[in-house]
Structure 1
Amino acid sequence: MATISSSGALAAPRIARGWPAQRRFALSLGLAPSLTVLVAITLLPAAALLLLSLTPLSLLDPVKTFTFADPLVNYRNLLHDQRFLHSIWVQARLSLYSVTLQLLAGLGVALLLNARQALFGFIRSAFLIPMVLPPIVVALIWKILYTPDVSPMHRLLRSLGMPVHSLITNPDTALGAITVAETWQWFPFTMLMVLAALQMIPDDPLEAARIDGASSWQVFRHVVFPYIRPVLAIAALFRLIDSFKAFPLIYVLTNGGPGSVTEVTNYYGFLQAFNFSYWGYGSAIAVLMLAGVFLLSWLIGRLGGES
């Protein structure tokens, strides 16, 4: 009997120790397919991009293909490339303007539509239409609106005695025109997130503030805004990352022009890789963009977490 009880006492801990290991093994098997796909479509292309950026790969000079004699030559050249540095400034302005306008417009519309009536639900659904349209369709819509010969907006202004020249061919207004189109397409994203946060605010602090005589602005500043501030930080993070992908709008509306007024960094990398066939140089631009997006995401995440 002692032997049986002793073996039973020893067997129980082994079973207890074996179950977590078996559970982790089963979870690993379940995650293996998705992790394999993630590695295939994300990590491998990223590694290939980094590898290409260390070479002077160019279709114009195939002899130097995959030559690693001077792996940092592309990055050194970028530091002295005035067109590349100008594209960073253009991208920074586009991101700042568009993300700021999207947050303000999304917040304002969300506050106006923060009601539970059926009519407001229909209006909220209508506001989501621009966000679900393909980017190329949005670009074509705004191309028509910005073309004076076919634009209903230009015809209306002309009939009112206020003719307006093409906004996308004027160096002073081209970047602003792209900003407006970008804001129109993506402010519903912020609106949707803020609406969800507003619906989660409890009624007690709002009623207490109104009973104490707080104005609408004071209620928003001291009660509503602290609740939705983390959501705004998350929305800003997502929209900032997506602002680096405004390629379809720029390609269709301005093609980087007039001159290089709207030539953002990813469009300049596209030109180097596919128009000029400098694949190594274009890959270096993409790697720097990727590093910049990661850095900005980390900074905004820290700021949002601390707030």
Structure 2
Amino acid sequence: MSAIAVARRAGNSWEAERKRAFLIGLSPSLLVLLAITLVPAAALLVASLTPLSLTDPANTFRFDDPFGNYRHLLEDQRFLASIAVQLKLSVVSVALQLGVGLGLALLLNGKSKVLGATRTVFLIPMVLPPIVVALIWKIIYTPDVSPMHRVLDAVGLPVRSLIANPDTALWALTVADTWQWFPFTMLMVLASLQMIPDDPIEAASLDGANRWQLFRYIMFPYIRPVLLVCGLFRLIDSFKAFPLIYVLTNGGPGSVTEVTNYYGFIQAFNFSYWGYASAIAMVILAGVFMLSWLVGRLGWNDHAER
């Protein structure tokens, strides 16, 4: 047998052993993942195929019309409207988070102690529990106790409650969500900016490039993959704005702030239609899965290539 064949067989054997050791090392984590994600997801899927309801326990586990809940979703105007509300909230809030986070990252990109302390202050909203953030904005949006409303009244610009007005309630939620999560984008972009080599920036400056040209042609190509990943991650997380909606608007006024997961909550815990609520949850799960696939397809791959 030639030396090349021996080396190739040894390499294949080593690769097989490496994969086997890798799988053995991952098996505990995979078992935990199976227990806490796949098993509940399977139970949710099974429930979505039944008319599971506390109001009719005798017909709870019938499978004679397994797609009845999903068929009803296509005819449920309130469910379809909740998807539109979710899309508005997600798109606008994520766009604002990217814009505010990018702007502040550019302003705070430096190595002084003052900038370091300022960056720490800006991270506070992100580390607060969501319910605390919701209570803070509940106070801000309540005219009787709100410092914002008192200042507006003092300057002759009285404003009615933003979360009680159907025209402004959704945008008030968007501002609160943006305030809580713009630090995520700021932190990621700031880390990316500080990894940019100094040489291209110095060379462009010597060639007469202004600040906009430095950002457009030097900095932005470096941070574009990070912005894409941040946007996709925040888009996925925007489906979890439940605490803000529950505390600030309770889905109202009417249903103008009723996003899809809140509508599913109402169906499950207000009306006890657990099978129908499970179908709503499965639709949300499918949407989040698609966005997660986009993170891997467009975000990490692009970042790795760069």
Tell me, in whole angstroms, the C-alpha distance in 1 between the residues paired with 2:69 and 2:221: 46
Three-state SS of the structure 1 residue aligned to 2:253 is: coil
Contact 1:237-1:301 within 8 A present in 2 as well: no
The C-alpha deviation readout for 1:4-28, integer Å capped at 9, x for no partner, is xxxxxxxx99998776655544443
Give yes or no for the alignment of 1:163 onto 2:163.
no
Q: Which amino acid aligns with 2:130?
A: P
CA shift at 1:32, angstroms? Answer: 2.2
Map of 1:295 onto structure 2:
290
CA shift at 1:155, angstroms? Answer: 0.9
Find the partner of 1:212 among 190, 207, 216.
Answer: 207
Give yes or no for the alignment of 1:129 onto 2:131.
no
CA shift at 1:214, angstroms? Answer: 1.4
Map of 1:140 onto structure 2:
135
Map of 1:234 onto structure 2:
229
Map of 2:218 onto structure 1:
223
Three-state SS of the structure 1 residue aligned to 2:240 is: coil
TM-score by length of 1: 0.92
Tell me, in whole angstroms, the C-alpha distance in 1 between the residues paired with 2:262 and 2:63: 26
The C-alpha deviation readout for 1:96-122, integer Å capped at 9, x for no partner, is 110000000000000000000011111
Tell me, in whole angstroms, the C-alpha distance in 2 between the residues paired with 1:89 and 1:153: 30
Tell me, in whole angstroms, the C-alpha distance in 1 between the residues paired with 2:295 and 2:169: 28
Tell me, in whole angstroms, the C-alpha distance in 2 between the residues paired with 1:31 and 1:92: 37
The C-alpha deviation readout for 1:72-128, integer Å capped at 9, x for no partner, is 000000000000000000000000110000000000000000000011111101111
Contact 1:174-1:254 within 8 A present in 2 as well: yes
Give yes or no for the alignment of 1:114 onto 2:131.
no
Q: Which amino acid aligns with 1:136?
A: I
Contact 2:47-2:274 within 8 A present in 1 as well: yes
Contact 2:233-2:295 within 8 A present in 1 as well: no
Give yes or no for the alignment of 1:248 onto 2:261.
no
Contact 1:174-1:262 within 8 A present in 2 as well: yes
Three-state SS of the structure 1 residue aligned to 2:190 is: helix
Tell me, in whole angstroms, the C-alpha distance in 2 between the residues paired with 1:301 and 1:30: 23
CA shift at 1:300, angstroms? Answer: 5.5
Tell me, in whole angstroms, the C-alpha distance in 2 between the residues paired with 1:139 and 1:124: 22
Contact 2:52-2:60 within 8 A present in 1 as well: yes
TM-score by length of 2: 0.92
Three-state SS of the structure 1 residue aligned to 2:208 is: coil
Give yes or no for the alignment of 1:279 onto 2:279.
no
Matches within 5 A, 1:57-72: 57-72=52-67
Task: Mark the runs of 5 or more structure 2 residues left unpaired by the alignment.
Answer: 1-6
Three-state SS of the structure 1 residue aligned to 2:220 is: helix
- Percent sequence identity is 72
Map of 1:270 onto structure 2:
265
Tell me, in whole angstroms, the C-alpha distance in 2 between the residues paired with 1:174 and 1:271: 19
Matches within 5 A, 1:63-102: 63-102=58-97
Tell me, in whole angstroms, the C-alpha distance in 2 between the residues paired with 1:38 and 1:301: 19
Paired positions, count: 298
Q: Which of the pair has more CA radius of gyration?
A: 1
